[in-house]
Amino acid sequence: MNRLFLILLIMISLNNCASVMSPEGGPLDKNPPSLLGTQPEVLINIKSEQKITIRLSEYLKESSIKNAINIFPMHAGKVQYEFRGDKIDVWLPSDLSKDTTYMIVLNTTLADEHGVAITKDISIPFTSDFIFDSSAIQGTVYGDFDQAAVLLWRGIVDRESMLNTAPDYIANTTDDSEYIFNYLPSDNFSILAVEQYGSNIDYSKGEHAFYHQNLLSTKKVNLKNIDFFIHKNSDSEVLDKDTLDVAEDNSDIIKTADISGAVKGKFLHPIKILLQNSSHSYVQAVNLDGSYVINDIIGAKYQLLIYEDRNNNDKLDTGSFLDKTQSEEFYAYPDSLSCRANWELELPLWKYQEETIK
């Protein structure tokens, strides 16, 4: 009897052990963490030094959290936190201002336990008031870069202050090179896009871009299509529009494509068309009647932009700290273009000023 009881006990024990084992095989989880909610659920009437619990959909990689949490506007100070698997307890700073909507921002360095990082910033608003600010600024950063950051200062900020004063808000671009600032106050703002941002980085020496206006205002309307262009590097080469590249062994001429079309908009001549990807760049002047032709294009996928080349230097100038200039205004064609060898691609009339809504 005792022997039978012992056998049954062993079988039950083995069965229980098997029931908690992870199943073998199956696809890897490639989904990044997502926000499930907070405690309190609605973050209004919040007090300084209050604890807020952030719940996410997956267990987090603890080492990814350290540089992933910020509070904007940045003058709020550093945040204290405690990691609890799929939760983060956050203790707010002690010097919060009244009547200000702040944001806890989890940036794209945050990853789950498998190392899968979020693809865009997660913004969690909170305020000591009973209503959130609701203004927004958003747009796209064009060019060739891995990831860019857009810096935002409240009010009119000169170039020297941009270099010596931390921005009030920072937004990282997504995989689609888009960015957004939500929960902003109704106010004036100064803005700058940089390829790389850090508290100890002199971003005037790296690739950066100003907007074509020196002041943005959310006092009347939310701002969309606040776009920037960041060049690949300062010495990027523009290909001659009438030449062919030759293969390395000089035995075969690379087959190319042509693009033609017409534009209509508000720019004054000289107007230039820029066709670019990470490997090739072409600039072509637009004729007085709005027509253009770009010849000898290496087959690939491209982004098409149009800009008013004020100094006629065949380059989309993006502004300068030294000269205190703004970017030349540009518009991006709404779709990328695929050029194939020996193709002649004719584009429909592009009314480019209608592509931007502000």
Q: How confident is the model at residue 343 (pLDDT cuts 50, 70, 90)?
A: confident
Q: What is the largest CA-CA distance in the chain?
A: 103
Q: Give pLDDT, residue 354.
A: 61
Residues near 63 by beta carbon (within 8 Å), at least 6 away in sequence: none
* Position with higher pLDDT, 51 vs 254: 51
pLDDT at 224 over 80: yes
Q: Which residue has the tokens 């990027």?
A: 236
Q: Give pLDDT, residue 37.
A: 95
Q: Give pLDDT, residue 202.
A: 82
Residue 307 pairs in a beta bridge with: 272, 330
User: Which CATH number among 1.10.357.10, 2.40.50.100, 3.40.50.800, 2.60.40.1120 corresponds to the domain 256-355?
Assistant: 2.60.40.1120
Residues near 348 by beta carbon (within 8 Å), at least 6 away in sequence: 261
* Position with higher pLDDT, 3 vs 150: 150
Taking only the tens place, the pLDDT of each residue in 252-269 is 567 789 999 999 999 999
* Position with higher pLDDT, 79 vs 43: 43
Answer yes or no: same fold for 133-235 and 256-355. Answer: yes
C-alpha to C-alpha distance for 191 and 201, rounded to whole angstroms: 17
| Closest among 279, 275, 291 to 330, alpha carbons compared | 275
Q: What is the mean pLDDT of residues 92-98?
A: 87
Q: How confident is the model at residue 245 (pLDDT cuts 50, 70, 90)?
A: very low
Taking only the tens place, the pLDDT of each residue in 143-166 is 988 789 999 999 989 999 999 889
Lowest-confidence pick of 70-79, 121-130, 161-170:
70-79
Instruction: Determine if the peptide bond prior to 40 is cis (ω within 30°).
Output: yes
Q: How confident is the model at residue 27 (pLDDT cuts 50, 70, 90)?
A: low
Q: Give pLDDT, residue 255.
A: 78
Q: Which amino acid is at 290?
A: G
Taking only the tens place, the pLDDT of each residue in 279-327 is 899 999 999 999 999 999 999 999 999 999 999 999 999 999 988 999 9
DSSP sequence for 182-249: EEE-SSEEEEEEES---TT--TTSS-EEE-SSS-EE-SSS-B----EEE-S-TTPPPBPTT---B-TT
Q: Give pLDDT, residue 28.
A: 64
pLDDT at 17 over 60: no
- SS3 (DSSP) at 5: helix
The half-sphere exposure of 146 on its side-chain side, counting CA atoms within 13 A, is: 3
Q: How confident is the model at residue 53 (pLDDT cuts 50, 70, 90)?
A: very high
pLDDT at 201 over 80: no
| Closest among 168, 167, 169, 118 to 147, alpha carbons compared | 118
C-alpha to C-alpha distance for 310 and 315, rounded to whole angstroms: 10
Residues near 281 by beta carbon (within 8 Å), at least 6 away in sequence: 236, 237, 238, 239, 274, 275
**Other CB atoms within 10 Å distance of the CB of residue 268:** 7
- Where do the structural domains in the chain lie, given as residue ranges? 30-132, 133-235, 256-355
| Closest among 207, 173, 168, 219 to 190, alpha carbons compared | 168
pLDDT at 36 over 90: yes
Q: What is the mean pLDDT of residues 66-82?
A: 86
Q: Give pLDDT, residue 98.
A: 84
Q: Give pLDDT, residue 248.
A: 41
What is the average pLDDT score of the chain? 85
Residue 180 pairs in a beta bridge with: 138
Pairing state between β 188-194 and 216-217: antiparallel
pLDDT at 35 over 60: yes
The dihedral formed by the CA atoms of 332, 334, 340 and 342, expressed in degrees to the nearest 10: -70
- SS3 (DSSP) at 109: coil
Q: Give pLDDT, residue 23.
A: 44
User: What is this structure's pTM?
Assistant: 0.82
Instruction: Determine if the peptide bond prior to 270 is cis (ω within 30°).
Output: yes
DSSP class of residue 318 equals -
| Closest among 64, 69, 57, 62 to 29, alpha carbons compared | 57
**Other CB atoms within 10 Å distance of the CB of residue 304:** 22
pLDDT at 237 over 70: no
Pairing state between β 87-91 and 149-154: unpaired
First and final CA of the chain: distance in angstroms?
85
Q: Which residue has the tokens 């201002």?
A: 97
Q: Give, in words, the CATH class of 133-235.
A: mainly beta
* Position with higher pLDDT, 86 vs 233: 86
C-alpha to C-alpha distance for 278 and 301, rounded to whole angstroms: 10
Q: Give pLDDT, residue 147.
A: 81
Q: Could you give the percent of the chain with pLDDT greater than 90?
A: 61
Topology at the third CATH level for domain 30-132:
Immunoglobulin-like (2.60.40)
